[in-house]
Amino acid sequence: VTAARGVLLCPITMGLLLQSLFFFLLLLGSCVHPAAAFPKGCYPSEEEGLKTFRCSNAQLTEVPRDIPNDTNKLYLDSNQIPFLPRDAFRDLPLLLELDLSHNAIARIESGAFQGLAEHLHSLDLSSNRLVSVSKDTFSNLKAKVNLSNNPWLCDCRLQELIRAVELEADSSGGIVCESSTQEEHIGKAFLQVIADTDLCNVYKKTTDIAMLVTMFGWFAMVISYLVYYVRQNQEDARRHLEYLKSLPSKQRRSEESSTISTVV
């Protein structure tokens, strides 16, 4: 009997052990983030007590997904990221520093930094391909921003952007006019340009002059048409009167009265 009980208990015990091991592995898997989820060249670490996620020089062409949402410092520098889509960093509410320098970013969609306004204090966009960016892109952002070494178009839009953000210390001199609405500004530091010229005021004056020239052109066309129309009618009336003079007297009087009423 004892031997029979041992035979029966052995499979039951093994089953319980296997079941316990299965639940343990399941629990362990839910707690540990699998390394395979990270893109090649990306890895988490801890620096000065801050949770850091590094993807420097990882040949990325887009902002990676599955970044741990408790990340404080994110390095995406030295990649080939061409643009930042809306809500690109929406799931990173604790982010303090974001490095996007030395990429190929030429376009930033509105709302790309949405959700970062509360905590982000450093944003590096230097050495990219930014030409023109709306000030609304950085709406409510309190971070210090580095915009140096980009091929900027110096115009009213850039002037509004610079006045809407807080620039990183010592980075303002690197914002240089690659192109400009005024040729004499090309190659100059942008802060030097707007210290002497209000580009938004210049743009407004240029627009006003263009509108006046356009309105004057249309007015001149209308006047020219009216003059032509009156002269053409006068010429037709003169020819008709000459024709009437060649007619017999009775027929001429009736035609003259008809012509005069038509002209009036």
Q: Which CATH superfamily is domain 35-197 in?
A: Ribonuclease Inhibitor (3.80.10.10)
188 — pLDDT class (breaks 50, 70, 90): very high
pLDDT at residue 141 in the model: 92
Distance of alpha carbon 124 from alpha carbon 72, whole angstroms: 15
Of 84, 80, 140, 131, the closest CA to residue 109 belongs to 84
Distance of alpha carbon 114 from alpha carbon 135, whole angstroms: 14
Average pLDDT, the chain: 80
Residue 8 pLDDT > 90: no
What's the predicted TM-score (pTM) here? 0.65
